[in-house]
């Protein structure tokens, strides 16, 4: 401290895990993404660890170096916001973009298994087949409902992880405490075998936000992430057996009858027992929404190279927002080499204005929800 009581740079103590506890955990907004634990500077000697079902905690507080990395990279803190906004040329409410289009994978086999138009899967395959990546960090099903992080290294593995179809042969598996959010970021460290690796990551906005923060701070291994493919995301869900029974009762269906789930302008559930899908407004699901999602401001994934969603596109098509120069390069490659197609009849200027209007509406509505929660 100077004589006039002005703090000097050396006196400023970085915020650290204690501050995460106060500002994130105690406010009930930890997304349990595992980022702070995986990238903790003291990870080798053990300072913090994940808990069974809740935010991480100190396992050995005395090992904490108070370096502040966990606080900086947590997607729920405001750190690095202005730096990232500037770097990615953020303009409210949907961020920077150079192209908005509705598209689909050219390969009908991809379209059959994909969530929407299979554009994400087609671009990942294009990147792999053109030697631009060694693999992609995505997520795959382990049983009828649950997904886990997955590092796909071949076309077959990328295809295995596409889509959100459910194959319910036999009884519904025990779901227990079930979370639709898949904590892929914590896998990054396990994937890196060499500095020269090049990977793509698919993720919802909070995940891409963490990666951008790590890249900004040069935290290893964020440098191996060469391409970020971001998914739109209004909210994710977390529920247990009691909540599931409540949902079945409220919307008059059984989980065992689910064929496919999709998230667009609402939650769309295709049932084996019904010809038309069940559409549930997000507002009717607020009791099973993950707590972290209540304060999340990011709908259209504005720090990604390209963002993708179903919103605004017809069934069987993906809405694509190309955002960065890198995004432009890979989208053009996938299109020029025939991996994806953009039907002219669905991409008139009127159609594109409608898509844009929907993305703006959902982005504003999500921002308002976050502001209301803060109030
Ligand atoms: C949790 C979640 C919430 C979403 N919310 C919305 C929404 O509110 N509105 C909207 O318009 N669109 C939303 N989407 C995006 C939409 O569901 C499609 O993923 C998107 O349109 C791309 O479709 P596609 O057919 O091109 O993708 P596909 O070709 O089917 O590829 C999807 C890729 O995403 C990966 N993936 C699936 N789930 C996850 C996950 N949890 N974490 C990381 N990677 C994953 C798969 O492994 C696959 O590689 C959401 C997606 C997810 C996963
Ligand atoms: S060592 Fe650093 S990264 Fe790890 S818990 Fe402490 S402050 Fe956070
Ligand atoms: S949101 Fe992720 S990084 Fe932040 S405290 Fe929770 S687990 Fe750690
Ligand atoms: S709503 Fe936000 S916090 Fe929740 S899963 Fe989506 S991106 Fe993450």
Query: Could you read off the pLDDT of 82-118 as tens digits, one per residue?
Result: 999 999 999 999 999 999 999 999 999 999 999 999 9
Any atom of ligand 3 within 6 Å of the Cβ of 36: yes
Atom of ligand 3 nearest to the CA of 25: 5
Residue 329, number of CB atoms within 10 A of its CB: 14
Each residue's pLDDT tens digit, 233-287: 999 988 788 888 899 999 999 888 888 888 899 999 989 899 999 999 999 998 8
Is residue 204 lining ligand 1, measured as CB closer than 6 Å? yes
Contact 293, 285 (CB under 8 A): no
- Indicate which residue's Cα is closest to atom 6 of ligand 2: 64
**CA–CA distance from 114 to each of 63, 78, 120, 262, 280 (Å)?**
45, 34, 9, 10, 21
pTM: 0.94
- pLDDT at 168 > cutoff 60: no
DSSP state of 174: P
CA dihedral 362, 365, 370, 371 (to 10 degrees): 150
CA atoms within 13 A on the CB side of 99: 18
- Nearest atom within ligand 2 for CA of residue 58: 5
- What are the residues whose beta carbons fall under 8 Å from the beta carbon of 194, sequence distance 6 or more? none
Distance 309 CA to ligand 1 centre (A): 7
Q: Tell whether ligand 1 has an atom less than 6 A from the beta carbon of residue 210.
A: no
Q: Which of 262, 274, 289 is nearest to 373 (CA)?
A: 289
């Amino acid at each position: 401290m100077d004589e006039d009581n002005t703090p000097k740079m050396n006196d400023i103590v970085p915020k650290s895990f204690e501050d995460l506890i106060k500002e994130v955990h105690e406010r009930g907004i930890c997304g349990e993404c595992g980022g702070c634990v995986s990238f903790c500077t003291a990870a080798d000697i053990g300072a913090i660890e994940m808990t069974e079902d809740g935010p991480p905690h100190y396992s050995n507080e005395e090992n904490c170096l108070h370096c502040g990395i966990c606080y900086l990279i947590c997607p729920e803190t405001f750190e690095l916001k202005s730096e990232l906004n500037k770097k990615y040329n953020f303009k409210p409410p949907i961020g920077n973009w150079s192209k908005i289009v509705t598209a689909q994978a050219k390969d009908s086999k991809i379209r059959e298994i994909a969530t929407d138009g299979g554009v994400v899967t087609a671009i990942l395959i294009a990147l792999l087949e053109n030697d631009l990546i060694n693999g992609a960090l995505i997520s795959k099903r382990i049983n009828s409902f649950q997904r886990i992080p997955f590092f796909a290294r071949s076309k077959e593995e990328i295809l295995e992880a596409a889509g959100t179809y459910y194959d319910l042969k036999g009884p519904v598996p025990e779901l227990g405490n079930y979370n639709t959010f898949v904590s892929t970021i914590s896998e990054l460290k396990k994937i890196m075998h060499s500095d020269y690796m090049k990977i793509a990551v698919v993720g919802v906005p909070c995940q891409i936000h963490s990666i951008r923060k790590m890249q900004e701070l040069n935290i290893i291994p964020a440098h191996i992430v060469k391409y970020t493919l971001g998914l739109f995301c209004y909210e994710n869900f977390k529920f247990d057996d009691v909540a599931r029974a409540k949902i079945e009762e409220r919307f008059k269906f059984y989980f065992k009858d689910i064929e496919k789930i999709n998230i667009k302008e609402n939650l769309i559930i295709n049932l084996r027992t019904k010809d038309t899908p069940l559409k549930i407004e997000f507002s009717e699901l607020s009791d099973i929404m993950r707590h972290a999602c209540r304060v999340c401001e990011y709908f259209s994934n504005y720090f990604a190279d390209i963002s993708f969603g179903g919103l605004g596109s017809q069934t069987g098509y993906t809405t694509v927002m190309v955002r960065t120069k890198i995004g432009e390069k890979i989208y053009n490659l996938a299109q020029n080499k025939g991996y994806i197609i953009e039907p002219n009849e669905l991409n008139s200027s009127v159609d594109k204005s409608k898509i844009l209007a929907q993305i703006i509406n959902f982005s504003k509505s999500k921002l308002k929800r976050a502001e209301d929660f803060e109030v």
